[in-house]
Amino acid sequence: MGGYLSPSHANVPEGSLDFSSEEITNLIRRALAEDVGRGDLTTRVTMDQAIKAKGTFNSKQRLVVAGLPLARRVFESLDPSLEWQGGVQDGSEVAAGTPLASICGVAGSLLTGERVALNFLQQLSGTATFTRQLKEILAGTRAEILDTRKTAPGLRSLQKYAVRMGGGTNHRLRLDDGILMKGNHLRLAGGIPAAVGRALRDRPSGFRVEVEVTSRAELIEAIQAGADGVLLDNMSPSEVRECVELVAGRVRVEVSGGISAANIRAYAEAGADYISVGALTHSAPAADINFRIDPIS
């Protein structure tokens, strides 16, 4: 779950997330309270509570699925008697019109949980889909796609899970997860040599030191100071290529800033080892998924 900067989550299986955790339980509880309030008024005044139904999630576009276990937990939190009928697995790429999963039981419970389950599933599948699209653009290069900490507050573990489902790699999960010195750190610490020197001296065992640089001169300072990796910020592909040639394999090179589907291939071909894309978690469009509920006779 952690990033490539540190070993702190090295024993967590690829893609795993504990959907039964207290963190997820509390998140679902808050999401349902936000949406349901004192009760589903429309369902209560229009629906015979004895009606049984089957609800099915369907893709309306080509997408990569992420969040089905979370959707299941939403419904089970509302009504433990509901029966989940699993379909595809998270991480699967499906065509438009594919049934993803179904759930059967009291129609009112399906109606009440519909929006919250869809909100989670559409957002996470959108992130996974966008990640996979960028990964496909990089086919044949050595570059890996990284996410960032630009996540919706309270949803980071889920959004980073979705990135993994799309084939991306997580950067830091939290601030205790790695050492990455950016502009503000460097100014406050007295510059690159001073900041890197102190970090190398005081870092916990096993942690690497990465430094954000914005110029060739700063890159040279970082290398000479002993940094393990550099983040080339807001450079053009041609500038990145020059920096990669200067580095000559001595440190790992990450690039960030203004990365899009239109230019990510150019950065990879310039020699970057890692390309971090904040848009994976802050701007990926929600996937088009619907939830059709039909009565069971």
Token readout for 203 is 């870092």
| CA 69 to mean position of chain CA atoms | 16
Determine contact, residues 121/68, Cβ cutoff 8 Å. Answer: yes
| CA 14 to mean position of chain CA atoms | 13
The CA distance from 128 to 123, in Å, is 9
**Mean pLDDT per 10-residue section of the chain, whose length is 297 residues:** 46 69 96 96 91 97 98 97 94 98 97 98 98 97 96 96 96 93 96 97 95 97 97 97 96 95 98 97 97 93
**Domains along the chain?**
22-134+285-295 (3.90.1170.20), 140-282 (3.20.20.70)
Task: Identify the pLDDT of residue 15.
Answer: 63
What confidence tens digit (pLDDT) does each residue in 32-71 have? Answer: 999 999 999 999 999 888 899 999 999 999 999 999 999 9
Count of alpha carbons within 13 Å of 18, Cβ hemisphere only?
7
Task: Identify the pLDDT of residue 183.
Answer: 94
CA distances from 12 to 15, 157, 206 (A): 8, 13, 17
The CA distance from 225 to 197, in Å, is 7
Task: Identify the pLDDT of residue 254.
Answer: 97
What confidence tens digit (pLDDT) does each residue in 180-225 have? Answer: 999 999 999 999 999 999 999 999 999 999 999 999 999 999 999 9
Task: Identify the pLDDT of residue 295.
Answer: 95
Which residues are known to be catalytic? Answer: 115, 150, 182, 212, 233
Helix ranges restricted to H, the chain:
22-36, 41-46, 68-78, 107-137, 156-165, 183-189, 192-202, 216-225, 237-247, 264-269, 279-282
Task: Identify the pLDDT of residue 297.
Answer: 77
Task: Identify the pLDDT of residue 49.
Answer: 83
Predicted model pTM? 0.93
